[in-house]
Each structure stands twice: as structure tokens, then as C-alpha cells.
Structure 1
């Protein structure tokens, strides 16, 4: 088949042209500019994950009229007919508008594949505003910041995943689950990677990574394929010298953002230090699958206090309570053979979906066992819940007043959710929304 055509549509000032520039800039590969473009449209080819598609900037054409009339509706219809897929950009700071509800109805009626991009979400902590747009009925929204590049890789992944297989170039052997190995300098990250490669004995190839400052190593174990990203250690900001070392920190942070699962390597001889906690905080915020690797375990004297050592790590990194802990020696290979099996397990937990009926049966039981407390004379009512996303799992609870949700009850619900469904190795996001009357 020819290259798929993807059109960006949306109201004025939601960031369509900014997104177009972001997607066709240096962070993705601009293959070619098409000659003969009109002043209303700009076409560029974009390559992502070995798939090339044509992106159409409709910033000068669609929805620029001040009123949402028949003329504008006809323009949207034309975009829908021309494109194989639509990126529908909305403004996360404004919330759904009547114009966007009308566009959503058009898209649903035509049955056109659509990715809903909630723009102007400039921090991971603000990403929950995207769930206000579930009401548009276009599936799970993708929170992004076109200006800052936040989560744009997830948007591109969603776009190309909807293309037919014929749109892809032949994939090289070795495409697979992406695993980032991160931690402070000298905790044994490279030694761990070498131990993994030696354990599996099959290195397919080394190729430049998707960022210019990282190298990805492909390896196979049985019928499973992994992409291992070994990075330089993350140092405290005050210790990052200008130049090469600064880029090593950036590389580590990029590796985390690109990963499906992160191996967070600690040094058993040093325990958990302050910088480990800071790295752990970033990992929790990033929402990735996570495994804590305690390396250099061969250097620790075994005196029967191993349980105490485990409890100490759990105490110091209590906010990563969901992450499994593996004790390994990259030097001797002890414990390394379990790492990739746990990677697969955590990745599956991160992608787990719970049916709405099942979830609300669980919710009824959880509320029965521990009814929501009252606050200032008001009773919190939880009407129902839905799973709004995966990687990480996100659950939206519709309530009478989100301000009545105490952090302790939020924690209770997460504990009960994990007790019933697992989700080991992945953060779980709980979002509380007022039910529309």
C-alpha cells in the first residue's frame, strides 16, 4: 500500500501547527517535503518505528472560522475523507467544547480511525485532565505537550499502531520489548547488561538508538526479543559537568521515557543513598514498569539478616512498594537468569485490563468493607469506575465531589485494587472525577 495519510484537525489555538512542527522536527525523521503544496496545507513525510506516513497540517484550513457553521463542518468532512487516520487535537486547559463534541460525532459516524491528543499538558502530574475528554467517545486520550515534547512518542506509537501491517518496512529481526538499565554511576549497570548478554548468548546486532546519544542492543532468549538500553549513571545535578557528562544524564532520562520496563540498579555494598531516592522518584512519576536490582550481592556477608536487608530497601524506597526486588551478582552471574522472566511478568502487569463489570463488582465490595469517610459533614459517594488506560494502568472513579477523597481512602482503594488484580511492578493511577449531572 502507499504511505498512510494522517491529518491533524482541531479548533483554532489548540496547538495543531506546534504539534506538526514537533512531529516533523529533528526528533522524528523528516523524509521529504512535498512540492506544490497550497498555502492552506503543508505535507511532510514522517518516519517512526520503521513506518513512514504523510502528515497533513490543516492549521490554515480547518476550524479557523469564528463560528462553527456548515462551511466549517464541510471542511472537517473533507479532512476525514482524505485521511487514513485523524489526530484530533484538543486543549487540555479548556476542556471539551460543543464544537469538539460535534467533530467527535462526525468522526464516530464516519468510523474513521482517530487518535485524540489532549495538548498543553505540560507535566505528568497534570495528565489526569485528559480523562475529561473520555466523554467525546473517541477512546483513550493521549495527554501531550506539543511545545515541550511531553509524551509525543506515545502519541506516535498510538498512530502507527493503527496502520495496516503493509504500511511498515520489513522489521529487522530483534524488534522487541524495550528495557532501560538505569542507576547511579558505578553500581554495575554495564556489568549487568554484559551478564544478560552472556547468559543468553545471542546478540542480534547493535544499532543506533532512536535518539542520537544512545545505543540499543538487541538480544533473544528462546522466542522472546528484547532491546536493552545501557546508559551512563545519573549523577546529582551539582556533580554534572558541562559537556559529555551532562549528555549522559539526558541519555538516562530519555532511556527511561522510551522504556517498557526499567531495571533500577542499586549497589548492595552502599545501600540506598539520597540520589537513589531521587532517581526512584523520577521513575515513579514516569509510570514505567519497574524492577529494583540489588547488584554486587556476592560482596555482602551472609549472616542470616537478608530479610532485614530487604526490609531496609523497602523502607528507604517505600514509594516504590510495588516494584519487585531481585538480588544479583553481575560479576558471578548469580540471579541474572531470572531478570528477563521478571521483565516479561512486569510488562504483562503494566498492560493488564480489567473489564468494567468486573471492576465495579470489586468496587462495590471494597466500599462495603470500608465505606468512604465523611468530610465536613459531606459524604463521599463513589458511583462507578472505569479503566481508562494501560502502561501504566489508569482508573477513573466517578464521584459526587472529588475534593472529598482523602489520601488515606485513595491509598485504601489502590491497596484493594492490587490485592485483587496484582499490578506488580507498575504504578497504578487513580483519578477521581465529578459525575456530570
Structure 2
């Protein structure tokens, strides 16, 4: 099930990043070796009461000149409108209602997306309430006063945000067809792959705000089975600012990956694997999706008997946090090996849904701990009591231990590798939760 997406938008300096960080809190577990996630974290998973959603910060860059600022604001608002299910429109009580706020409000109103108007920097509710009421003039509903820095007013705001989720169409809930997202940097050939697979040149670009969801989901039949292709290449932004294009492609990727079962990461063979590829791969890995790496434009590469091995080794080096990903060398131009894509997709789907009996898991764990002693600290030895699988898509395991602090990341990785040696799990990440269980006295 895909989580709703909530985007924060607003003028520069109204406190978007402060609000984002306050909501994201420390709950974000950043996998130590996922690159790019810490440095420019623009999305996070947030839980409010029993509801989960993905939060997107459209903070980005903030140009100085006034007219450039409007262009930039429009850019940010369009990103939010395209990808979000609910929009938090953030304004600043201390600066009051300004012209730029009204311009953005007009755009948002036309989007027909639910908008929650949030007035920030209200550190004293009694003192500032008359100024908060001024924002009724925007004509987009009740203003919700908060202070992002003091975390005041969050409950009412989040109640309002999550209230809109029940109206979001859950059409993809009942849809059993596997959803495949084609992701990657701009210009690596994502559209060409989609068009080649569908056997037609579709024009995906649309000028109507809010049509993205329908415009980019295409059913496709292969081997008597139906799939949904989610294409992130559509709806290009006409931005001149490089950071904006990059920011936009990351936001689009988060939105597509959120709704997919499997992500196909397209890499340009002529460029090799880059840091931006790693950032995009990190999004799919973080969300526990199946991953296939499609190296496109392979027909343009001069080859000898070692080319594939060298290229694969380089991918495994740069994308070392997804050693499980399947790699396929293709050409959208010539159609080379594109037919193999769906065979791989099927393998990954089976692995994502694989369940292993508790008995077998505990045998593997017993053998693993016998081969390599669990770590100890200050004379206290880690003991692993029991392992069981609790979910699929991705396969998720709980390990019961005597002391969570002793279960180092590297030892969890070691257990994971032992499970993979036995069952492969090609193309899918595995998730592990460590629980403490007191020793029997």
C-alpha cells in the first residue's frame, strides 16, 4: 500500500525546513551507507497517531531577486501540486500576508488538491491570533497557527492534514497488478524504454496541472500477465536552474517509488554510474522496493570480453548498499535484451513474496552464530534467541536477542548474508527488526 504524500510549500524564510525537520524528527533512520540521503534530505516518513505519510520539503534554493523568486515559487508549487496528495501551505505571521502568498494561493486553489493553510512563528497564541486571522483573506480555508521551532500547534495541524487522506482515491489498493517504476536521472532514456516496451511513441508531457497520476500509469501485457508501468519521465519542468531540475527529479522519484513494487533504475552506459544514480537508488532501497539496474545505451559501448564484468564491478562499488540488485545491459534504441526485463521482474516479484518457515530460519541462524561468534562488550555476550519472518514485500524478519545494543549493524548484515546464501532473494532488500527479550531467570 502506498503512503500519502504531503508537500510543504511557501515563500523563502517562512520556516519550511524547520517544520520539515520538526515533523521528521529523529525517527529517520539513515542507513549508514546510503549516499546522498543525509546531505539533502528532502523527504521523510512521518507517523502521526496510527497514520503514516511521506513528507516532502520543497525548500530547495532561494534566489534573491524578486521576479526570480516568483518564478522559483511557481516552480516549487508546481512540483508540490504534481506529486502531493495534500499540500501544507506555510506562511509567516511576522511578515504578515504578502503579495507572493496570494499568487501561490491562486495556483494552489486551481490544483483542486486539499490544502492546509499553516501560519508559522506563532510563539504566543493570544498575542498573535489577530494577525493569524488576516490569512483568511487568502480564501483557502482556516489558518492553523503553529510554531515550528517550539513545536506548538502540531496536533491540530496534523489532524487536519491526515483528515484528507480518507478522501484520497485508493484505486491502486484493489489493483493486484505489479507496479513497476522506471526511475533514473533525466536523459538516461527512461521514456525511450517505456515507448519501446509499449511499441508506440506516446507523448507524455501534459500542460494540465494535476494530471500526472493518470498520465504516467500505463498498463502493459507480457507473457499473459498484466503490469502497470509508472513512468517518471513525463511532465518535464521547464527550469533553467540545474538544482531545481535535480530536486524535481528526486521528488518525482519519491512519488513514483512510493507507489511501485519494483523500481527499474536506468543508468546511461556512456556516462557510467554517478552519485546522482546512487541518490536515486537510495530512495528505492530505503523504501524496501525490488530493484533492477538497467544499463541503457549498451549498443554505444566499445566492448571486449571483460567490459560487462568491469562495468558490473563499478556499479557494485558505487551502489554498494544494494548488492542484491539485478543488473541488465540493454538498449532502448535497438531493443537489445529488453525482452529479458520481464523475466527478471518475475524473479524479483517471487523473491519479494517469498516466505521462509521459522524452523528453517532458526537453523540458518544457529549455524551462522556457531560459525561466527556474536559480538560482546564489557564481558557481556550478545545472544540470539529466535528469528521469524513477519512480512513480505520486502521480506521482513524479527530477531529476538538479549541486548539490542550489542547487535551491531555489521552482525545483522552477516545474518542477512547467510539467509541470502540459502535463499538468494535476488532483486529485493530484506528488513530486520531487533527485539529484546529478557533471559529466563
Aligned residues: 284
> Residue in 1 aligned with 2:185?
184
Give 1:333 deviation, angstroms. Answer: 0.5
Change (3 A) 1:237 1:312: farther
> Residue in 2 aligned with 1:261?
262
Distance in 1 between residues matched to 2:253 and 2:172, nearest whole Å: 25
SS of the residue 2:321 aligns to: helix
> Residue in 2 aligned with 1:273?
274
> Residue in 2 aligned with 1:403?
405
Distance in 2 between residues matched to 1:258 and 1:147, nearest whole Å: 23
Distance in 2 between residues matched to 1:146 and 1:197, nearest whole Å: 42
Distance in 2 between residues matched to 1:19 and 1:430, nearest whole Å: 19
Distance in 2 between residues matched to 1:210 and 1:353, nearest whole Å: 38
Tell which has more relative contact order, 1 or 2 (C-alpha 8 A, sep 6+): 2
Alignment of 1:336-375 (within 5 A): 336-375=338-377
> Residue in 2 aligned with 1:304?
305
Give 1:212 deviation, angstroms. Answer: 3.8
1:148-197 Cα distance to aligned partner (Å, 9 max, x none) = 77xx89x998x997xxxxxx7xx8xxx62110001001100011111212
Are 2:368 and 2:418, in contact at CA under 8 Å, matched by a contact in 1? yes
Distance in 2 between residues matched to 1:261 and 1:177, nearest whole Å: 8
Q: TM-score by structure 2 length?
A: 0.56
Distance in 2 between residues matched to 1:238 and 1:19, nearest whole Å: 32
SS of the residue 1:255 aligns to: helix
Q: Extract unaligned runs of 5+ from structure 1.
A: 1-13, 29-119, 121-144, 162-167
Give 1:213 deviation, angstroms. Answer: 6.9
1:12-46 Cα distance to aligned partner (Å, 9 max, x none) = xx9569789x9xxx949xxxxxxxxxxxxxxxxxx
Distance in 1 between residues matched to 2:326 and 2:407, nearest whole Å: 29
Equivalent in 362, 382, 385 of residue 384 of structure 2:
382
Distance in 2 between residues matched to 1:156 and 1:329, nearest whole Å: 36
Give 1:211 deviation, angstroms. Answer: 6.0
1:57-84 Cα distance to aligned partner (Å, 9 max, x none) = xxxxxxxxxxxxxxxxxxxxxxxxxxxx
Distance in 2 between residues matched to 1:430 and 1:336, nearest whole Å: 33
> Residue in 1 aligned with 2:78?
none
1:323 aligns with 2:321: no
SS of the residue 1:265 aligns to: strand
1:308-348 Cα distance to aligned partner (Å, 9 max, x none) = 12111111111111001000001000010100111111011
SS of the residue 1:352 aligns to: coil
SS of the residue 1:229 aligns to: strand
Distance in 2 between residues matched to 1:371 and 1:365, nearest whole Å: 10
Distance in 1 between residues matched to 2:320 and 2:412, nearest whole Å: 17
CA RMSD, 1 decimal:
4.0
> Residue in 1 aligned with 2:285?
284
1:106-146 Cα distance to aligned partner (Å, 9 max, x none) = xxxxxxxxxxxxxx9xxxxxxxxxxxxxxxxxxxxxxxx98
Give 1:241 deviation, angstroms. Answer: 3.6
1:193 aligns with 2:194: yes
Q: List 4+ stretches of structure 1 deviating above 2 A.
A: 14-20, 145-149, 208-214, 232-242, 245-252
Are 1:350 and 1:426, in contact at CA under 8 Å, matched by a contact in 2? yes
Alignment of 1:48-197 (within 5 A): 176-197=177-198
